Each structure stands twice: as C-alpha cells, then as structure tokens.
A and B are shown apart, each in its own frame.
Chain A
Amino acid sequence: MSPTGIAVAVLQVVLSIASAPFLVGMMRLIRARLEGRVGAPIRQPWRDLRKLFRKERMVSTNTSIVFSLAPLVLLASAALVAGIVPFLSTTSALDQVGDLFAVVYLLLLGTVFLSLAGLDAGTAFGGMGSSREMTIAAIAEPTLLVAIFALSVSTGSSNLGAIVADTLAHPSRAASPASMLAFSALAVVTIAETGRIPVDNPSTHLELTMIHEAMILEYSGPDLALVELAAHLRLVVFLGLLANLFFPWGIATTAQPLHLVAAAGAVAVKLIVLAAVIAVIEVFIAKVRLFRVPELLAASFVLAFLAVTVSFFLV
C-alpha cells in the first residue's frame, strides 16, 4: 500500500464518478441525433443529479432499513470497483486485494441490494423488476466470471492488474481465440448488466417492460440521485473493464503524473468509442422479449466457456 498507489486508486474513483454522467449524456445525445432529434446537452445527467440532491427525500412507511441502505451499498460497491479495476495504472493500491473474484462479487453485491430494495416497498412493479433482475444476474454473473477467468488462465493470475500487464507484455494474446471469445461474451454481459437494449431499455416509461427502472420506482430525491449515479458509474466500470482487459494499450505501468495523464486520455478515448458503438447499435435494434433474454445470455455463457476451454489448449 504505497502512497502513490492510494493516490492512483482515489484518482480513478474521482475521475470515474465525475465522467460517468457525461458518458451517459453523450450516449443519449448520439441516440437523439440518429433519431432526428436535437437532444439534451451532454451535461444534462449532471443537472438532473444536482436537482435530485436538492429535492425532498420520501420514504414509504412500509420499507425497512434495506431500502435506505441499498443506494449507499450500490454506489459504494461501484466506487470501490472503480478504484480496483486498472483504468489508469497497473499499480493501483487496491490491486493486491482486489482480483477478478472480488470485482465480480462486489458488482453482484450492488445488484442484490438493489433487488432487495425493489422488493422492500412491497409494490407490484418493484417485485417484478427484482425478479427479472435476478433472472438476468443469475446467468450474467457466471459468464462475467468465466470470461475474465479465460484471460487469467494464460496469465496464471486472477489479479486484474497482472492480466492487463501480461497482455501489454504479450500483445499477440489480445488477438488469441480465447481472448476474442471472452471479449464477445463479456460484451453481451456488459449490455445485460448495464441495462441497455436489447436486454433492458434505459429510457422506457412502460412499466411492463422495464427492469432497472422498475426496481427504483419508489426512490426519490437524494436516494434516487445515488442510485442513478451508481448506475452511471457501473456503466463506466463495465466499459472500462471491457476496454482495458482486451485493449490495454495506453495504460500507465508506473504512477508518474505524466503517464497517468496520458493513461486518462487513452481510457477516455476507449470509453467514448465503446459508448458510441453501443448507442449507435441501440438505434438499430429493438429490445428482445424478456423470455428471449436467457437465450442470449446462455449463448454468451457458452462463448465464455469455450474461451476457457480454448485457453487451455491454444495459448
């Protein structure tokens, strides 16, 4: 736990939280432009969050401590993961304690708490949202784990920093069959876990089709702001994971300020490209029926499983 390592981890958390709403705003703007609309400015999600923090906090009398705790757990777990995942440098302070298993289960912790909160108020739509979220999480989480595990096989370590550093040292591994299979599996999981089309529609107002929105229907004011911010942050974390595990170039291997600035620029470019690709794809496809989602996720699990198998035979 060196002081520079801690500084890098704190910097990663601060930068991720600050940039996450802008990334979401950019995705909304791209979608609006492709739909022939003008769209809200990129800073609109930050404006919405600032307003929500200044609003009244309403809690139903039927809720328990879980309802009040969930937004904090959700944001804290996402922020911790943002500190662990090698975004800027492979020498993060939390890197020694946080390997891929810690990352996956920290993300799952947030998902579980939000689902419990959806059930807590006892509303019909909250329960439906929780049930759907759990259906998806039950198939998506193992895929996430297995896909990253495929990368750790060739590295010989489940440490995310070590995986990234190893890919940097052996660039040909980024184009190996195992890596490509794992990438496609992880891409599907990213879309499912961040609630994008075709699994969930982030801009839906139709109660019968929503998953993430259904669970947070009872939240208001600052609580809602925390949940929204955490959802934005999770998008950055998933996209950052996807970007840096498979295209690590640009990441700093030291903690020198100049290298960190360059790494921040590199990861920003990667995030913007990935987010833009997702936003463009969302315009072209429709949300699939809920009963078809497990098929999509099962296919991605097969890809992840193949990636692990292949990584043992072909290095």
Chain B
Amino acid sequence: MLKLLRKIVQTGRVTGTVPLDAGPRPSLLLNAAHPLRGSVQIRQVDAGSCNGCETEFAAAFGPVYDVERFGVRLVASPRHADALVVTGPVTRNMAVPLVKTFEATPGPKLVIALGDCARDCGVFAGGYGVAGSVADVVPVDVEIPGCPPTPDDIVASLRRVVGR
C-alpha cells in the first residue's frame, strides 16, 4: 500500500491536453440548447471491427487522454446511452443487432461512426460477409476517419460533440 502511495505521488497527473482543432472536423457540433450538451453517455457497438478502433477508443478513456473529464462516459446498456459509437463494417450477422441497439436507445440520440471501416467499409468493402457501412444500416451523425483514428482524433471529435 505504501508502494502504491509512493507511486501515486511520484507519477502525479499524466493527462495531456488535446487541442480542440486536432484531427478531422466532424459534421456535427451541438448547440448550447441541445439536451446532450455537457453530458454524453456512450454505448460502443462492434459491428465487425478488427479491434484496432476499439484499442484506440479504449485508450481515449485511459489516464493519458481522459475523455471522461469532458463529461463523456461509457455505459453498459443502450438504454443508458445518448450516443452509439459503431466500429467496423457492418457484417451480416451484426446488422440486425445494430438496428435493435439503435431502437433500444432513448432519444435524442447520436450515432458516431468510428474508423474508416464504419464510414465506407475500408478494406472490407465488397466482402461476402459485409452488409454495408454503418450509414447503410442506421442514420450516422458524426464520422471519425482514420484506420484506426488516433486517440487525439477521437478525443477532439468527442469534445466537439459534447461542446466542452
């Protein structure tokens, strides 16, 4: 326990700063009166990803990028969610679960397509198991390009969505 305490004191704060204009500009910026401004709970849906986007997305919630400080939180149920973060090309097996998850999410809700595969199927385009991009299955509000997008891009995009 003393060892851990010493580690805490020595390490201090590891979170870096992420400039708002880092990364690509998403199409959406919530206005001040939007109900979701300042607090966005996210449910992540893997629609057939290679897990590269998941790794970067998980890093955005770690101590170094700490997107939680802007009021973004991961939740365990679509019923608690305000935004669905969908990764990967939508495979035939995940098309129906994705639609069901979208329907189970209470409004107002957002869909964020994370990574090139979610935007346009990436290298998997035309594959026999691929039903299409996320936009072909559910309406997409924000796109974060990259293969995979860096945590900087993810944090900057989420910051613009939250408005902080």
Interface residues of A (CB under 8 A from B): 32-41, 44, 47-48, 50-51, 54-58, 204-207, 210, 213, 217-221, 224, 283-284
Contacts and interface: CB of A to CB of B under 8 A. Distances in A.
B66 A38 contact: yes
A56 to B, nearest CB: 4
B141 interface: no
A47 to B, nearest CB: 5
Contacts of A40: 68-71
B154 interface: no
B76 A213 contact: yes
B75 interface: yes
A54 B35 contact: yes
A36 B13 contact: yes
Interface of B is mostly: loop
A204 B108 CA distance: 24
B123 interface: no
A56 B66 CA distance: 28
A32 B69 CA distance: 9
A85 B45 CA distance: 44
A56 B1 CA distance: 45
A44 B80 contact: no
Contact of A224 (B8, B68, B79): B79
A40 B35 CA distance: 18
Interface string B39-64: 10100000000000000000000010
A54 B38 CA distance: 13
Contacts of B63: 35-37
Given A38-B13, A283-B8, 12 more contacts: A36-B15, A37-B14, A38-B66, A40-B68, A44-B39, A48-B71, A51-B38, A55-B35, A217-B79, A219-B79, A284-B1, A284-B5
A57 B63 CA distance: 33
Contact of A205 (B5, B39, B70, B75): B75
Contacts of B76: 204-207, 210, 213, 217
A94 B120 CA distance: 63
Contacts of A220: 79-80, 106
A269 B24 CA distance: 46
A56 B103 CA distance: 12
Given A37-B15, A218-B79, A284-B1, A55 B108 contact: yes
A36 B36 contact: no
**Nearest 10 A-B pairs (CB), nearest first?**
A56-B106, A220-B79, A54-B35, A217-B77, A220-B106, A36-B14, A38-B69, A37-B66, A56-B107, A51-B39
B103 to A, nearest CB: 9
Interface of A is mostly: loop
A50 B35 CA distance: 9
Contacts of A41: 69
A210 B82 CA distance: 21
A207 B73 CA distance: 16
A57 B105 CA distance: 10
B79 A39 contact: no
Nearest to B72: A40
Contacts of B80: 217, 219-220, 224
B104 interface: yes
B13 A37 contact: yes
A39 B77 contact: no
A47 B71 contact: yes
Contact of B68 (A39, A47, A51): A39
Given A54-B35, A55-B107, A218 B71 contact: no
A204 B75 CA distance: 8
Contact of B74 (A35, A56, A205, A207): A205
A51 B79 contact: no
Interface string B74-103: 111101101000000000000000000000
B100 to A, nearest CB: 12
Interface in B116-156: none
B32 interface: no
A145 to B, nearest CB: 32
B35 A51 contact: yes
B44 to A, nearest CB: 9
| Most chain A C-beta atoms within 10 Å of own C-beta, residue among B39, B41, B104 | B39
